[in-house]
Amino acid sequence: MEDEEMEKKVQQYLQRKGFRLTELALQEERNRLSTSAISDVALDRSENDPARYHDGYSKLRTWAYSSLDQYKHELLRVLYPVFIHCFMDLVAEGHMQEARSFFHTFREDHEVMHSRDLQKLEAVLSPSHLEEMELARSLRQNKFKIKLCEYSYELLLQYLQKTQALVVLGVINEHITFEVSPGQPSLISDDADVVALIGTSKDLAKQINQKEVHWGLLEDSVEERMEKALAESDKIEAENKDADAEDNKKRNAEGGKQGSSLKKTKKDKLVGATGKNVRTETSMVSVAPRVKPELTLPATPIEVEQSILEDLRNRAQLNSVALPSVSFYTFLNTHNGLNCSSISHDGSMVVGGFSDSSVKVWDMSKIGQPAKTSGSQGENGSSQGERISVVDEGKRPYTLFQGHSGPVYSTAFSPFGDFLLSSSSDSTIRLWSTKLNANLVCYKGHNYPVWDVQFSPVGHYFASASHDRTARIWTMDKIQPLRIMAGHLSDVDCVQWHVNCNYIATGSSDKTVRLWDVQTGECIRMFIGHRSMVLSLAMSPDGRYMASGDEDGTIMMWDLSTGRCVSPLLGHSSCVWTLAFSCEGALLASGSADCTVKLWDVTSSTKALKTEDTKGGSANRLRLLKALPTKSTPVYSLRFSRRNLLFASGALSLSSS
């Protein structure tokens, strides 16, 4: 009341004095204040209106699709992060009906690239689900990094300033960081890592990838020593061959034994071909630099060195023309109980991990032979072995290992086949002796299921990957881990050692691959580009390249020194569960849930990369050499033997036929 009386007195005073203009200005100010109060009330109402998310995203979508073709593919990258955060904001505010309508109206825009994430987010039915679902938590706690050219970024800023789209602006400020590059827009074929979840730090991936990686081979490794010895012996044999050839000529001229001469000539051709193969391979691997080991490496027994020498002598040289022979081990009557399988380095043993917590090992030399009662002794001693033999009357061709209390998710043989590792949902890792047929150690450290476990190339050390978002490095003689690698935003699904044992690589459900230094435990590379969880990894024999396969069937080849993607491999239609490089690195084999093994030409792509190192980005594609389909058997594991024979295994799946 006092304010109104004061305003009346002021107005009367202005009229009495004749200040007409001042009176009008005062009246306009009063009207402006009243209308602003009304608009504030309307704004408060609109802030609680769920329709603002639909309108904001719809207008952004229309603008992006109507942009110039040159910039459209870059501007469309903004839609996916805005879409999922608008949906999650609606859910968090309790507007469930509007959230479902929004989700189903616009989900088709992102079905091709992000179908896995959309399937998971579709299950969000209440605000509590956002807190419980790991994907939703990860999306809300971390930021998307989106690559745009400078002009595309300016276009987006102009649109946001012009439309004053507060909802879209809020989502972009809170959940998106932009990496703006000068020049022309990137090619659509280079869209591998343009939209990625990187964590809260904008420059985290860039900082990590600037660290130095020594990707070479170990100094004075066993295989290198064996190759040198083999090369020397081949040189001596070649000299002897020349001398024998002269003697044969003399004998033939004198009418000597023609049969023995023919036999000798065939043998000489075989020796010459073997020497040629070894020299070719040595020249390919010798270009890789040599590094010192950061771990104390175990000694190699003499009999193992002799075995390696024999394998190298008989190794087949593979290339795009000479493809490997493949031996496929099919598990029958598993009743969907087989979770994983692994093959020893020489293919003599195959192991399977089962849902009933058992581990079973098959000796390939005994397949098809009548079993003897003395040959199968379980973890609990001879009584168990006798029970297995007597009950089944010698019909079981495998050795049964029991000890886990949950499904077994991963198994791995040591490089020389004398030990076996298994990991389980009971959060433990067990070490078994294939000679004693007994459990030696139970390693406890992870808090959740252990998805993968792998021996190092020299044995003794091994690495594990778990649902607790960590990878750990262990040694056989200690029950506690030596290193814990933490940094992934979700499950660590697979782990792989570098050939020089100084690094391990991990693939995760957060769609990234990381490379870790074994000595320091630090992440030194972050590889961003996969669209779904990473399920398999493989290292090239020279240590420079790494292949990774994901749930969508995409395989990506990475250069460890630069952190760049060399080439994506598109061909599988389902999960890529296993990858393996041939011994000289010329071929890459991939096994998938689509029941095929595919062979890829690595050499041509990496050569093209080296000649185009100065160019930014690469449109190279690895050439698919051959696809080997099975009738109805998803491929669980692949392994190249030292002689370059490819072993594969899988369980017959009647449902996929």
Residues 529 and 542: beta-carbon distance below 8 Å:
no
> What distance in Å separates the CA atoms of residue 396 and residue 496, rounded to the nearest whole number?
33
Whether pLDDT at 189 is above 90: no
* Cα 558–chain centre separation: 11
pLDDT of residue 187: 61
For position 253, what pLDDT does the model report?
Answer: 57
Q: Which of 193-207, 407-421, 437-451 has the lowest mean pLDDT?
A: 193-207
pLDDT at 38: 42
Q: Name every residue whose Cβ is closer than 8 Å to that of residue 251 and which is 6 or more positions away in sequence.
A: 257, 261
- Predicted confidence (pLDDT) at residue 510 exceeds the cutoff of 50: yes
Which is higher by pLDDT, 84 or 258? 84
Beta bridge partners of residue 526, listed in sequence order: 514
- Side-chain-side CA neighbours of residue 212 (13 Å): 2
Instruction: Name the nearest CA neighbour of 637 among 323, 311, 329.
Output: 329
Q: How many CB atoms lie within 10 A of CB 55?
A: 13
Burial grade of 344 (CB within 10 A; 0-12, 13-18, 19 or more): buried
| Other residues' Cβ atoms within 10 Å of the Cβ of residue 472 | 27
Q: What is the pLDDT of residue 296?
A: 83
> What was the pLDDT predicted at 349?
93
Lowest mean pLDDT among 100-114, 514-528, 616-630: 616-630
Q: What's the rounded mean pLDDT across residues 385-404?
A: 60
Q: What is the mean pLDDT of residues 192-206?
A: 57
Q: Quick one: CATH architecture of 326-365+395-608+620-651? A: 7 Propeller (2.130)
Question: Domain 50-181 belongs to what topology?
Answer: 1.25.40
User: Which residue intervals of 49-149 are DSSP H helices?
Assistant: 51-65, 69-75, 79-92, 96-106, 111-121, 127-132, 134-141
Question: Which residue, 640, 523, 531, is CA-closest to 579?
Answer: 640
Closest CA to 505 of 475, 468, 547: 547
Q: Matching CATH topology for 50-181 and 326-365+395-608+620-651? A: no
Q: 243-252, 317-326, 441-450, 484-493: lowest mean pLDDT where?
A: 243-252
Residue 261 has pLDDT above 50, yes or no: no
Residue-wise pLDDT tens digits, 622-640: 688 999 999 999 999 999 9
Q: What is the pLDDT of residue 389?
A: 29
Determine the Cα–Cα distance for residues 602 and 619; give it in Å rounded to an integer: 15
Query: How would residue 472 be classed by pLDDT, with cut points 50, 70 and 90?
Result: very high
pLDDT tens readout for residues 576-613: 999 999 998 899 999 999 999 999 998 776 665 555 54
Q: Which is higher by pLDDT, 382 or 174?
A: 174
Amino acid at 304: V
- Quick: pLDDT tens for 338-379: 999 999 998 999 999 999 999 999 998 877 665 443 333 333
Residue with the bigger pLDDT between 270 and 474: it is 474
Nearest to 187 by CA among 94, 71, 42: 71
> pLDDT, tens digit, for every residue of 362-372?
998 877 665 44
Phi, psi of 412, rounded to the nearest 5 degrees? -155, 135
Q: Residue ranges of the domains in the chain? A: 50-181, 326-365+395-608+620-651
- pLDDT digits 0-9 by tens, 446-467: 999 999 999 999 989 999 999 9
* Model pLDDT for residues 292-327, shown as the tens digit of each residue: 778 888 888 888 888 888 888 888 888 888 899 999
Flag whether pLDDT at 46 surpasses 60: no
**What pLDDT score does 255 carry?**
52
| Predicted local distance difference test score (pLDDT) of residue 390 | 28
Question: Do the strands 398-402 and 408-413 form a parallel or antiparallel pair, or are they unpaired?
Answer: unpaired
Lowest mean pLDDT segment, chosen from 249-263, 266-280, 620-634: 266-280
Tell me the pLDDT of the chain averaged across its residues: 80
Tokens of 111: 């079905």
Determine the residue type at 456: S
What pTM did the predictor assign?
0.72
Q: How far apart are CA 51 and CA 43, in angstroms?
A: 13
* Sequence-distant (≥ 6) Cβ neighbours of residue 28 within 8 angstroms: none
Q: What is the pLDDT of residue 33?
A: 66
Structure tokens belonging to residue 53 = 């998310």
- The structure tokens listed for 98 are 């509007």
427 contacts 367 by C-beta, under 8 angstroms? no
pLDDT at 276: 42
Tell me what pLDDT residue 32 has: 67
Q: How far is CA 262 from the centre of its chain?
A: 53
pLDDT greater than 60 at residue 172:
yes
Choice between 496 and 142, residue whose per-residue pLDDT is larger: 496
Instruction: Specify whether the CB–CB gap between 617 and 321 falls below 8 A.
Output: no
Dihedral over Cα of 83, 84, 89, 92: its sign: positive
Q: What is the pLDDT of residue 655?
A: 65
Measured CA to CA in angstroms, residue 31 lies from 12, 25, 26, 38 at distances of: 18, 10, 9, 11
